[in-house]
Amino acid sequence: MKRCRFFALVIALFSSMLVMGQKIQEKKKATSPNMPTLRAGVSFNMVNGSDATDTHALTLYDVSLGYQWMINERKCRVFFSPELGFGSRGWKEGEQNEWSYHATVRAHTLRLVLAQISFQPQVGYDVFLDFHAGGFVSYDYAGRYTRFKGYFQKDDRIKLSEMDNFNRWDAGLQVGAGLWFYYFNIDFTYRHGFVGMISGKDGFSNNFVLRVGYAFHRRPKTLPPGVSRSSLWYY
C-alpha cells in the first residue's frame, strides 16, 4: 500500500513538472524579446590628458532610459540598444581642503547613445551576461564652476554658460559589461570623450559608471490559448 502511494506521488510530481514546463514555454513564447530599460547609478568623473595632472575624480550621478531590439536569438542574444541619458561630468582640481585654493566643475549632461550593440550570452536560467559598446554625443545643459579661495574669502561661482573656453558638446565611445538576472541588471560602463573639455588644453572627459537596472518586458496583444495576461508576471 505504501509502495502504491509512493508511485502515485512520483507520477503526480512528474505530471506537475510537465505542466509547469509547458506553462513556462508558453509564457516565453508570449513574451516579446524587445524591452525598454531603466538604469541608474553613480559616475566617477575624471579628466585625462597632459594638462590634467592636478585634477581629481568627482562622484556624481547617471540615469539612462534605453530600448533593446533583438536582432539575433540564438545561443548569444544580440540587441541593438540605443539610450537617452541624464548624467554629469566634471572634476576637482587643487588641494581639496577649506584653507587653500581649489576648484570644482560640475556639469549636468544630456547624452544620446545613437548606435550601441549588446551581446548577451546565457549563463543560467534567465541569467545573461551583457557586453555592450557604442558611440555617444552629449551636451552640458547646466553646470557651475566653483573656485574656493580660502576659509576667510568668498567663493567664486561661475555658470558654464559664462565660460567661453568650456566645451559643452562632447562625443565619444562607451563600453561596458554587466549581468541580467530575470528583469534586473547590474552594469559597469566606461566612457571616453574625444572633445577637449577646455579649449586649447589637453583634457578629455573620462568616466566610470556603476548602475543597477530593470527591464520592462513588453507583452504582446495576442496570447496563446490558455495563457492569461496576468499569468505572465509569475510562474
Separation CA 106–CA 55 (nearest Å): 13
- In a domain, residue 68? The reply is yes
Confidence at residue 218, expressed as pLDDT on a 0 to 100 scale: 56
Confidence at residue 201, expressed as pLDDT on a 0 to 100 scale: 81
Confidence at residue 11, expressed as pLDDT on a 0 to 100 scale: 58
Confidence at residue 113, expressed as pLDDT on a 0 to 100 scale: 92
- In a domain, residue 48? The reply is yes
The model's pTM = 0.75
Regions of the chain short of the pLDDT cut 50: 2, 6, 18, 24, 30, 235
Confidence at residue 31, expressed as pLDDT on a 0 to 100 scale: 53
The tally of domains found in the chain comes to 1
Confidence at residue 18, expressed as pLDDT on a 0 to 100 scale: 45
- In a domain, residue 229? The reply is no
Confidence at residue 50, expressed as pLDDT on a 0 to 100 scale: 77
Domain that holds residue 197: 32-218
- In a domain, residue 150? The reply is yes
- In a domain, residue 12? The reply is no
- In a domain, residue 5? The reply is no
Find the CATH number of the domain harbouring 81: 2.40.160.20
Please tell me the total number of residues recorded for the chain in this structure.
235
